[in-house]
């Protein structure tokens, strides 16, 4: 059993990582961190007794991040939980723009823990 956390840009990235760490510890399992950002993720704050695998998003730079996450789930049959961060959006932006988080919530074949950044 493994927890996969998708870490995006913005405030929701660190929140998702923290929630992923907590979930992996609660389930007493490993953590896979999928970096969806364009920068390096610092995992030095992860407890030393937790096994962590850091993955960089692969494929072309214009690859859909939701596809990257769903492909990672498909390639790793041991992943039993997905942790994602949610971005606060207005009703208008929800109607006009797609959402990576929304797509993952709807299309993930495994349970999803979605966390919002604190105000």
Q: What is the pLDDT of residues 16-48, one digit of tens each?
A: 999 999 999 999 999 999 999 888 888 888 888
pLDDT of res. 89: 65
What is the number of domains present in the chain?
1
Confidence of residue 99 (pLDDT cuts 50, 70, 90): confident
Task: Render the burial of 26-35: b for 16+ CB within 10 Å, e for the rest.
Answer: eeebbbbbbb
Write down the pLDDT at residue 96. Answer: 45
Q: What CA–CA distance (Å, rounded) separates 73 from 117?
A: 24
For 53, the 3-state DSSP assignment is strand
| Nearest partner of 104 among 93, 115, 95, judged by Cα | 115
Domain that holds residue 35: 2-115
pLDDT digits (tens, 9 = 90+) for 53-90: 999 876 666 678 899 999 999 999 999 999 999 877 66
List alpha helices for the chain, DSSP H: 12-27, 65-75, 91-96, 100-107
CATH number at residue 101: 3.40.50.620
Q: Which secondary-structure segment (H or E) carries 80?
A: strand 79-85
* The pLDDT value given to residue 58: 66
């Amino acid at each position: 059993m493994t927890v996969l956390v998708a870490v995006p840009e913005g405030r929701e990235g660190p929140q998702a990582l923290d929630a992923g760490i907590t979930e992996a510890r609660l389930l007493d399992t490993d953590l896979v961190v999928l970096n969806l950002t364009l920068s390096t993720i610092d995992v030095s704050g992860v407890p030393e007794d937790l096994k962590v695998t850091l993955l960089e998003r692969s494929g072309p730079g214009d690859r859909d991040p939701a596809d990257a996450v769903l492909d990672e789930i498909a390639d790793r049959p041991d992943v039993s939980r997905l942790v994602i961060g949610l971005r606060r959006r207005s009703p208008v932006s929800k109607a006009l723009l797609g959402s990576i988080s929304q797509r993952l919530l709807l299309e993930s074949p495994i349970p999803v823990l979605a966390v919002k950044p604190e105000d």
